[in-house]
Amino acid sequence: MEKRVLGRNGLEVSALGLGCMGMTGVYGQPVDKADMIKLIHDAYERGITHFDTAEAYGPFANEALVGEALQPIRGEVTIGTKFGFDIDQQTGQRRGGTNSRPEHIEAVADAALKRLRTDRIDLFYQHRVDQNVPIEDVAGAVKDLIAAGKVRHFGLSEAGIQTIRRAHAVQPVAAVQSEYSLFWRGPETELLPTLEELGIGFVPFSPLGAGFLTGKITKDTTFEEGDFRNAVPRFSPEARAANLALVEIIKGMADRKAATAAQVALAWLLARKPWIVPIPGTTKLNRLDENIGGARLLLSPADIAEIDAEASKIEIKGERLPEAVLKMTGH
């Protein structure tokens, strides 16, 4: 698989990463651990070398899974994980909202290193901006961890433009992670131009619109208990019925390319910028193979222009996240 570089300090990763969050829940019940370890190994054998996790996924269960799976091939892969929520590092108990105090960041890093069975974190993101801690202090804390050899690169997730600039001035940011897909194009207005200016990579999560852009979800789809999409306005039956018009555009291009809707959606993202590295998540080998096919699919400038022109005629219905979560992201 093609390699891409995040940031100006040379973090080289596979063009497509693997989002591991769903392997321990979020989209329903956790999947068998042994099956997920095998899936991670299958991803590596197919050329994926970048794996995304976080302390908050579980909490802790996802990092432990990823650490166990990648330990035999640790030198061949990169791992991104995250800090920033107020989670007790001993018990895993969530104590409330955000916590990016420098001493907490250090404690999270030390605990994550143990769970990940490694001596360094390749990409350490602030998961959500902490309004009670100046971003300069956060960047300074990660800078200290980099100096100590515990962390290689600094990242931010769901951060605003000015926050990114202020953090980058203290410690160069290698990557910013936010939602981006044909289903949510908010980053195009300000975020992408800022990242290009500063030389920061972009790691879109939900590059398939939490499954919507695969074409497998209809207005009649029922999500199982515990699936976060049950609480997302964009996934209400009414919104889905309206938003399926976007999927039909993608399917039309897919039919002409002898590809799937998911592959077109990923190829579209990869074609936007050479420093974009999507991290689609899956728990199924056939979906993994399908996604990797998207990294091989080449869309011409004319194809991209056609998709953009048709998609611009559609008004997407529903917010991308529940209101309480949107308030936390700040946008």
260: left (phi over 0), alpha (psi -120 to 50) or beta: beta
**What end-to-end distance do the CA atoms of the chain give, in Å?**
34
Q: What is the mean pLDDT of residues 21-49?
A: 92
Q: What is the mean pLDDT of residues 149-159?
A: 98
Q: What is the mean pLDDT of residues 14-41?
A: 92
Q: Is the pLDDT of residue 237 over 50?
A: yes
**What is the structure's pLDDT at 25?**
80
Q: What is the mean pLDDT of residues 113-130?
A: 98
**What is the structure's pLDDT at 298?**
96
Averaged pLDDT score across all residues of the chain: 96
- Between CA 4 and CA 240 the distance in angstroms is 34
**In this predicted model, what pLDDT tens digit does every residue of 273-327 receive, in sequence order?**
999 999 999 999 999 999 999 999 999 999 999 999 999 999 999 999 888 777 7
Q: Is the pLDDT of residue 330 over 50?
A: no
Residue at token pair 């994926």: 48
Extended strands (E) in 141-200: 151-157, 173-179
**What is the structure's pLDDT at 325?**
77
- Between CA 2 and CA 315 the distance in angstroms is 34
Extended strands (E) in the chain: 3-6, 11-14, 18-19, 50-52, 78-83, 85-87, 94-98, 121-126, 151-157, 173-179, 201-205
Catalytic positions, written as ranges: 57
**In this predicted model, what pLDDT tens digit does every residue of 177-194 receive, in sequence order?**
999 999 999 999 999 999
Specify the pTM: 0.96
Give 142: exposed, middle or buried? Use CB within 10 Å, 0-12, 13-18, 19+.
buried
**In this predicted model, what pLDDT tens digit does every residue of 259-278 receive, in sequence order?**
999 999 999 999 999 999 99
Q: How far is CA 236 from the centre of its chain?
A: 23
Strand pairing class (173-179; 201-205) = parallel
Q: Is the pLDDT of residue 328 over 80?
A: no
Q: Is the pLDDT of residue 207 over 60?
A: yes
**What is the structure's pLDDT at 331?**
41
Q: Is the pLDDT of residue 210 over 90?
A: yes
224 token code pair: 């199982």
Q: Is the pLDDT of residue 63 over 90?
A: yes
**What is the structure's pLDDT at 190?**
98
Q: What is the mean pLDDT of residues 58-78?
A: 97
CA angle at 71 for the pair 65 and 73, rounded to the nearest 5° = 125
Domains and CATH numbers, the chain: 3-209+272-297 (3.20.20.100)
